[in-house]
Structure 1
């Protein structure tokens, strides 16, 4: 299982690439993870990534209208790529951005999770 240092390194590596980008959707190739991947991720309202935080072993992508909470499980990884890179085996979800980049979630054991927590526009940022 990724330990806190690995999750923090992932946060530090991912943050500069996605902060400020506009998230426009997701490609869900396998939704059967520890918790089913919400189908609403495939076509969300476009929104800006405000920051990437870590809360324990969870990564939290704070968005304009909610938060995407990611747990890497035992063997999960996130990679920042362009949409031209074809998906390989065990790469279950791509988070797509308006500029043609993506974050690809890979998890051979499927023990990880991607959860969406909506937030009304007038609500303050979450404190998850």
Structure 2
């Protein structure tokens, strides 16, 4: 009986925990993003509309078509790729949200290596 009570309490506590994901709040707007890869911090600013994302990184402008798979997952396709790497689509998944930020993971479509980052909504 003691074990049953412990298991019941554990299941009850686990079922009460839910990650907040208000992904639709972050589908459009102006954002600032930070990603750490191998200890190096990469920062960028971007504006996202329903169909387009324009990103400024290292004083370079990059534009991508936006295709939402569901409320929390999107695929970006570079409009004018200048290299083989830019020809690969990027899959991004929003993991958690707050009132002004979201934590995400992304990878090239078809690849297993994923990176994580945080984006802050500016407007």
**TM-score category, normalised to shorter length:** 0.3 to 0.5
Q: Larger relative contact order (C-alpha < 8 A, sep ≥ 6)?
A: 1
Superposition TM-score, scaled by structure 2 size: 0.35
Superposition TM-score, scaled by structure 1 size: 0.34
Name whichever structure is richer in strand by fraction: 2
